[in-house]
Amino acid sequence: MMDQNIISSVLYIQLDDEIGPNPIVCIPSNFPTVNKMHISIKVVTVLSGEHGNVPENLVILPFPSLKLKGIIKYIKWEDPKRRGGIGQSAIAILFEDVNDVIFYKYFEQLSSPFEEIGEDFRNLELNKARIIEFEKEINNINLKIKNLLKELRIEETSKSESMEFPKVKLKDSTMIDFKFKIIVLGDPGVGKTSLILRYTNNAFRRSYIPTLGVHVSDKIFKINNTIIQLVIWDLAGQQKFSTMRHQFYVGSDGFILVFDLTDPKSFENLSNWFLDIQNQFKEQNTLIGYVIGNKCDLKDYVRIKLENAKELAGYLNLDFIETSALSGKNVDKAFTELAQSLYTSFI
């Protein structure tokens, strides 16, 4: 099951007055040393950026060069023998970028085990415990998080199967009045996967073919008492998949172009993505699609003006919507409006 493999590594990092960030415990033990140091330095750098103020809540940090993210719990305690009279450390739970929506979605549920174990680590530090004691606690939290993820997956699956259109009934395709294939395109890292998983509200269950660079998800709902199934193809944006990507365009009914509001390059590349679609669907007179500007929650880092995004979308004869996969803002609206447009074009 995915919840057994979702955690890539767990680190316990001490901030030593003399040697700086020191990852004293790591699961698994063969996690590359250079990666441990890279992560430790970035985790500690956040503290320096906050002028020594230790965040009380969990923090999610990206490690782009490693294609990982981490959920970080900072710990502090009074220690008159340390510089400034304060000792500091951190626990880092690392996971792959593709799984970030799970941790965003269940952020609050994950806070509780971290709070509990934070006190245990303070006591270990104050008592100058041996490394083996820290290892036991790290194994403990690793197990707790994995069990929590397993419980959440089971709960999520149960909810999904008890909805209006249970999974067992979906095997009868005659229930579906309209089935639309949607392709989602854009540069790597713009948040395509997180948008789709936020929309389907099903973080743990999806099909992934890593060698081909495609996720396939679906969602079933009603429009005017008509049952609609959206089959959503999340196509990898990396150049290495460009040749095979065109094979997945075939049979598409609509598309979504995604860019990152904080990344001008991803916005500039929208025209190239649109041209790619036009070349593939030359025989279709009308292309039904939307432009999504994602990560609108990062207000201080947004670099694409709303009027510029709307202007480009208008030039491409598409509608534009700002979204946040993190907060969920306008995510349902984007996919629902596309589904409505497709439905209207077929009736």
Domains of the chain, by residue range, sit at: 2-161, 169-346
Least confident of 97-101, 263-267, 300-304: 97-101
Which has the closest alpha carbon to 61: 19, 26, 13?
Answer: 13
Q: What pLDDT band is residue 216 in, cutting at 50, 70 and 90?
A: confident
- Structure token pair of residue 227: 């049952």
Task: Report residue 41's pLDDT band, with 50, 70 and 90 as the boundaries.
Answer: very high
- Mean pLDDT for the stretch of residues 34-41: 94
pLDDT at 92: 95
Q: What pLDDT band is residue 10 in, cutting at 50, 70 and 90?
A: very high
Backbone angles phi, psi at 80, to 5 degrees: -60, -15
231-266: buried (b, 16+ CB within 10 Å) or exposed (e) per residue?
bbbbbbbeeebeeebeebbeebbbbbbbbbbbbeeb
> How far apart (Å, rounded) are the C-alpha atoms in residues 36 and 258?
32
Cα separation, 219 vs 206, in Å, equals: 11
Q: What is the pLDDT of residue 174?
A: 61
Dist CA 124 CA 111 (whole Å):
20
Q: In whole angstroms, what is the distance from residue 135 CA to residue 298 CA?
A: 36
DSSP label of 53: P
> Distance between CA atoms of 234 and 255, rounded to whole angstroms?
10
* Helices H / strands E in the chain, number of each: 11, 12
Beta bridge partners of 73: 91
Question: According to the model, what pLDDT value does residue 266 have?
Answer: 95
Q: 343: closest CA among 177, 165, 175?
A: 177
Instruction: Determine how many CB atoms are found less than 10 A away from the CB of residue 82.
Output: 15
Query: Can you give the pTM of this predicted structure?
Result: 0.60
Distance CA 237, CA 187 (A): 5
Distances (CA, A) of 245 to 8, 159, 196, 217: 28, 33, 18, 17
Confidence of residue 101 (pLDDT cuts 50, 70, 90): confident
pLDDT of residue 166: 43
Give the strands of the sheet with 178-185, arranged side by side.
207-209, 214-223, 226-235, 178-185, 254-260, 289-294, 319-322
Quick one: pLDDT at residue 8? 93
Cα(134)–Cα(125) distance, integer angstroms:
9
Query: Is the separation of the CB atoms in 193 and 101 below 8 Å?
Result: yes
| DSSP letter (8 states) at residue 128 | T
CATH of domain 169-346: 3.40.50.300
Tokens of 117: 């174990």
Decide which of 335 and 197 is more confident. 335
Amino acid letter, 65: S
pLDDT band, residue 54 (cuts 50/70/90): low
Assess contact for 207 and 311: CB atoms under 8 A.
no
**Which of 244, 255, 249 lies closest to 286 in space, CA to CA?**
255
Contacts of 120 (CB under 8 A, 6+ apart): 137
Q: Are 39 and 92 in contact (CB under 8 A)?
A: yes
Q: What is the pLDDT of residue 1?
A: 37
Contact, 8 vs 95, CB < 8 A? yes
Q: What is the enclosing helix (H) or strand (E) of 77?
A: strand 68-78
Backbone Cα Rg of the chain: 23
Q: What local confidence, expressed as pLDDT, does residue 211 receive?
A: 40
303: tokens are 């670099």
